[in-house]
Amino acid sequence: MERIDKIIASQGVYSRSEVKKLIQQKKIKVNGEIITSPNIKIDKDNAKILIDNEALTIKEHIYLMLNKPEGYVSATKDGKDKTVLDLVPDEYKSREVFPAGRLDKNTTGLMIITDDGQMAHNILAPKKHISKKYEVTIDIPVTEEMRNGFKDGVELIDGKCKSSDMVITGQYTAEVILTEGRYHQIKRMFGCYGAKVTKLHRTQMGKLELPKDLAPGKTRELTPEELEKLCQTK
């Protein structure tokens, strides 16, 4: 049993304050009865909720895409820095959402925020081979030696990396596709060639691309089609 205001707000359509106003206006019904208090607890699995006479569909899980800006850490809590959850609208936070995977503090781009642990495992598990595409800027010219080395698999201190596709897009820029997620992997791979990564931006996970109209720091829910693309392999 959960509070009616928490259940409705967790669906991401209304904030809890908006739900309270709807209750005051007697616009929310559960199983035909008008709700008179936000404190009323119901069994959401056996409740038909109407808001202004329109049925509310209860979502089992929430999937948000975030265009992560610089300066945020990929964690649910941090004693020093702002976290990516600080960018999530309040109405989703009651669902105990978390970042599926991580980007470094100063790395930007596509992240997934969810409350679905199984889905997060699926997109992060190495055996699933879900690719991630990055735009990379380094401090020295990108070379064919780097591209060929990435293709062959770069030797790091913790073992040889899987083959990675690289497309050279400019004198100092490249696109890199990874199918694994080691700690600071791209930075360490370029470091093997004496290069320092000065900018790193993730543009794609699976077949899901970061929309160009999603501004840095903003989130939105994935559509069913986008969720399917997220879980597609390279």
User: Distance between CA atoms of 118 and 33, rounded to whole angstroms?
Assistant: 36
User: Distance between CA atoms of 195 and 188, rounded to whole angstroms?
Assistant: 9
Q: Is 104 a catalytic residue?
A: yes
Alpha-carbon distances of 87 from 11, 112, 158, 174, 213, rounded to whole Å: 17, 12, 34, 28, 17
CA atoms within 13 A on the CB side of 87: 27
SS3 151: helix
Let me know: does 40 contact 32? Beta carbons within 8 Å: no
CB neighbours of residue 226 within 10 Å = 17
Q: Residues 43, 52, 104, 213: which is the catalytic one?
A: 104
CA atoms within 13 A on the CB side of 181: 20
Q: Which are the catalytic amino acids? A: 104
